[in-house]
Structure 1
Amino acid sequence: MTPKDPGPAYCLNPDCGRPIDRSVGSGRPRHYCNDICGRAYRRVREKHPTPDAVAHDLFALQVADELARGVEHLRGLTRTRQPLAALSLLRLVERDLEDLKAALVQQARDQREKNAEIARSLSLPPDQLTRKLSAEAVRRRMANRRQRPGGGPALPADPEPTAPAPVRIPRQRRPSAGPGATPFRAREPDRRPAGPAAVLARALSQLQRASAKPFRRLAEDTDISASYVSRVLSGERCPSWKITRALTLACGGDPAEIHPLWVTARGRAPSQRGSLHEALRGLHLAAARPATAEVGARSGLNPRAVTGMLDGSTLPAWEDVEELAHALGAEAPPLRPLWNAARAAAAGPPEPGPAHWPALRLPAEVPG
């Protein structure tokens, strides 16, 4: 059989463009006329991603975001004991996982990673990777996903508890301090606050998202490796204050809000010189800065009271601090030293009393 004429081909080096003779030789068709042009072509491709590579990056990010939302809904369905709805959603989540795997494989290929290295990361034989996750398979997945309504799985609204409702154990009510005292608000026992290290990681992650800086850009701005930045933001590492402050400033954050979170994440008690409202703003940041009305609905606090606690215009009762921290998904005990210091500062210096009076010298007894 006479092979088909491949037609004219030209060097892909933008500064060359000379024709390439593909009539001789075997193997892969050449894309450039010599090795010098080939190296120049690869340098240009690394600096300026192709439209296909950009599309692959966007596809991977879209799938990862939808997968995260799906897992969060799955967690809610599991918590509210809705197994049938959770199993239905699990099928969509599994499909998203396969889409994300294909997208990440194609991302690695766009970055010129070797096929053997990609296969080793997935613990697959190289031939199986080429067969199941080829570039054509990724294109098909992208096309099939675009055909879905909304580009991805339709996730249900936040699940509501169904009958029978989960059993809740009532907590002991605290006695009221008297007329006009704030009534006790029982917390939901199934909402567990995150530990200090997780809260710090969440706050730094929120700053990174708000700055829209990729890990590599943060690494350049702070002289830290991109892999370490990733571990810090994921909560795998608890960094030093120098690194924490550098990351905060690089993302446009306020170190005063992050410092109390860092101190407690390192297992220390926050300094009483710190500010209570700055620590509360740090917790608010770690919770993705929800609206005060939403925080009030979670905690039972008045939204104006929440605003006053965050901006420092009011000194709340300790029970309100507990409720706010709990509504923001954090532990309250680390805030107690800051609240004590704020209460002492608001009370002012102690009034003179017997303990502060100077010692009185009595006249010597006159002998009779």
Structure 2
Amino acid sequence: MTPKDPGPAHCLNPGCGNPIGRSAGSGRPRHYCSDACGRAYRRAREKSPTPDALAHNEFADQVADDLARVITHMLRLTHAQQPLAALTLLRVVEGDLEDLKAVLIQQARDQRQKNADIAQCLGLPPEQLTRKLSADAVRRRMDSRPLRTRTRVRLPRQAAAPPPTSAPRTVSTTRLPGQRRPASSRGEMTPSRARDPDRHPTGPAAVLTRALSHLQRLSGKTLRELAEDTDVSASYVSRVLNGERCPSWKVARLLTLACGGDPAEIQPLWAAARGQAPTQRQSLPAALRGLHLAAARPRTDELGEHTHLTPHAITGMLDGTALPAWEDVEELAHALNAEAQPLRPLWNAACAALAGPLPSTAGPVTEVIG
């Protein structure tokens, strides 16, 4: 039987495309018009960044920006002679430096730098670099960064010099809706859960447990009734509501629906509890409403007393009528006794959806760290 003619083919190098002949005989078929063309294509392909390399570049930029903001804030605290506040931020700086070192090492590996040269820059033996800062270790640091608490300490604004006369000075306290509370109405350092370094927010798993438990109390349903609605045992429902088990999304969704809740508010909490990155379907306002639910839905005026945010601004953040600055998101999350970093990808996605510059996080009224 005569072999079938394979027909004409073209060079796989996108920049070439010349026709190549393929014989019907034995042997591997040619994919390039010449060996030199194939080598050129492979070299160009190696130089193009992989998805992992792009992720490393983006992570390095984010950590470097965060580190610059924290160091700038520490400088102001040092000049203001607030050593305790500066020492508190020093822990954040140390963590950022470790993150930056890890991702810079991985960036050098992405550029095919020799391991010995990387180790020499750090003053480490090559075997220690491979053992303690492997590619897997860098990936773990990248995955865990959004789940780590970043302590913030706000520097009070420099008070204006008193007038030379002893006459009392009248200060207007009028503010627009949504504007932050002026410092004069709080004192210089009013205690706040969002700014208290000794108060640690609850982890994501505990936040999910609180939200589901509050829904169960609001619904008035028994464990047996919820077990029937979710097709699991009553003992398992009890362990979920007590925080002993982290349910699958199917069970968490059925529990939410059985209690009359909104699964969109629970999904971000469940993803954070599982250590997963939030999906694009999740919105920042829904995630904030989930944290609000986990805190038993306190009134906005009560939250305003624990933050620099006005009730009007808090309502807008929960309703999604405006995109808040990251500082406001972080402060509201801490006031709700929850970690803010799991919300960062949702905030970034909301900013990207605007197809414009990110909201300013440093201005005449606010200062942001992380």
TM range (shorter): 0.3 to 0.5
Higher RCO, Cα 8 Å, sep 6+: 2
